[in-house]
Amino acid sequence: MYFKMALLAVTRAFFTNRNQIKQCMSEGFRNLSLGSRVHARTQSLKCLKRTTSQSYAIHATVHRRSPLYRSCESNGDENSRATSNWTYAMGSVIAFSLFSKAEEDTRTDAQKKEDEIILLLKRAKLSMMRGQLHGANGFLHQAIALAHQTNNTQAIIYTYSLMANLAYVQGQLDNAEKLFKVAMSFMLSGGTPQDDNGVIEMSLKLATIYAGQEKNDLAEMGFQFCTESLETKLEKFKELPAEEQSEELRKETRLLLGLTLDSHARYMVAIHRLSQAVVDYKQALLICQEEQGETHPQSLVLMSDLATILDMQGCHDEALPLVKQAVELSREAGHPDQHVLLGNMAGILLHNDLFEESVKLYKEALALAQSAGDEEALEQIQEGLKEAISTLCVTGKTSSSLMGYPSCRLILI
């Protein structure tokens, strides 16, 4: 049996459920609004990062709402920056329909087909936001058919990518794998280099899918490809003349490396390779702190994740100060999911035999989770609180303020 106390700690990591996945997709596809550039590549990867926890029996904390590597999210899409020229047009068709109905339609047949594709994708986006995934799937199939009819490569790649992410959300891992491979084949055949961040990010999605399918050799090969490609790319940046260096691309690439290390760390936890998970988390944390700052929401989540894994290893003395730092910084910064970090710290306090402090922190986390309406976290915090109180009662160190709790009364009887 895997370390019981470690399992109890990680079950309080507040995994995502299907409703939260849909919320994640809703947040991501809000970027399809009129006149805005679509960041489907990184947004959907963020969702994938969150949802991967469902495939893992053991998993570190997944921060559900904070911007995941924000700078990385603000750059590119599935076929690098070139696709943005096409996706930007998604707003123009709406503007045309609103303001040009009385005017003569001078669009070519190709433009009309492209506008039709865009409208179908907009409808798919709305369906996803409403949780109507079956309807979204129908719109996407219509869009991909039109994209193939018109040989619109950018639309084909973009639509296949959306279809792959939708399949993943619905738990159809085999189908998601096939769709990601099709999208990637169109990218590569169109001349996109293998070390393009779009290709690497899609490879990361595939590696995560293989991990969920327990195809460990393929998963490890995928993570290794992503890590080595990004590290090599970053080394090449250093060799470029100053006038040829792109700070935006460098930062995007390094943040993508951080995301890869984070994803690999969670996979290592899933297969009980905790020592490697610690190495990966430390590197991911360093990257996020250097690129986004120590108080960035994702930096604090990674710090809490690292503390949780150290706690699982029995390194309680090292885990406690780290999670305390994460909580203190989250209080100062007003972290949107502070109850998650508090719940993790409460679990670590419990493993340090600081029972009353653990109970107090669980109660604070419970109140914040209730205010946030986070039912999934609420359930996990309640379980942790019950365990902490029961342990406190068994040790005979129960304070009078806790004697009214049902678990204490039951044990004392």
Mean pLDDT on 368-391: 90
pLDDT at 58 (0 to 100): 30
Cβ distance 302 to 290 under 8 Å?
Answer: no
> What is the tens place of the pLDDT at every residue in 391-408?
877 765 555 445 445 555
- Name the pLDDT band for 226 (thresholds 50, 70, 90): very high
Please provide the distance, in angstroms rounded to a whole number, between the alpha carbons at the two ends of the chain. Answer: 31
In this prediction, residues 347-356 reach a mean pLDDT of 92
Per-residue confidence (pLDDT) for residue 160, from 0 to 100: 96
Are the C-beta atoms of residues 285 and 325 closer than 8 Å to each other?
A: no
Which of these, 243, 244, 240, 209, lies nearest to 223 by C-alpha position?
209
Assign 3-state DSSP to the chain and report helix, strand, coil percentages, each to 5: 75, 0, 25
Tokens of 372: 């946030």
Q: Which helix (H) or strand (E) holds 81?
A: strand 78-81
Q: What is the pLDDT of residue 65?
A: 31
CA 279 to chain CA centroid, nearest Å: 20
DSSP bridge partners of 78: 80
Overall average pLDDT of the 78-96 stretch: 47
The span from the CA of 88 to the CA of 95, in Å, is 12
Model confidence at 103, pLDDT cuts 50, 70, 90, reads low
> Phi and psi (nearest 5°) for 200?
-65, -40
342: pLDDT confidence band, cut at 50, 70 and 90? very high
User: Is residue 152 over pLDDT 90?
Assistant: yes
Give the residue-averaged pLDDT of 2-10. 27
26: nearest Cα among 138, 104, 126? 126
268-302: pLDDT as tens digits: 999 999 999 999 999 999 999 999 999 999 999 99
pLDDT number for residue 394: 75
Radius of gyration for the alpha carbons in the chain, expressed in angstroms and rounded: 23
**Local structure of 241: helix, strand or coil:** coil
Tokens of 149: 């009819």
More confident residue, 3 or 381: 381
Residues in the chain: 413
Asked if 55 contacts 212 with a C-beta cutoff of 8 angstroms, the reply is yes
* Model confidence pLDDT, tens digit, residues 158-196: 999 999 999 998 999 999 999 999 999 999 999 999 999
Determine the distance from the C-alpha atom of residue 124 to the mean position of all C-alpha atoms in its chain, rounded to a whole number.
21
Scan for tokens 């159809």, then name that residue: 172
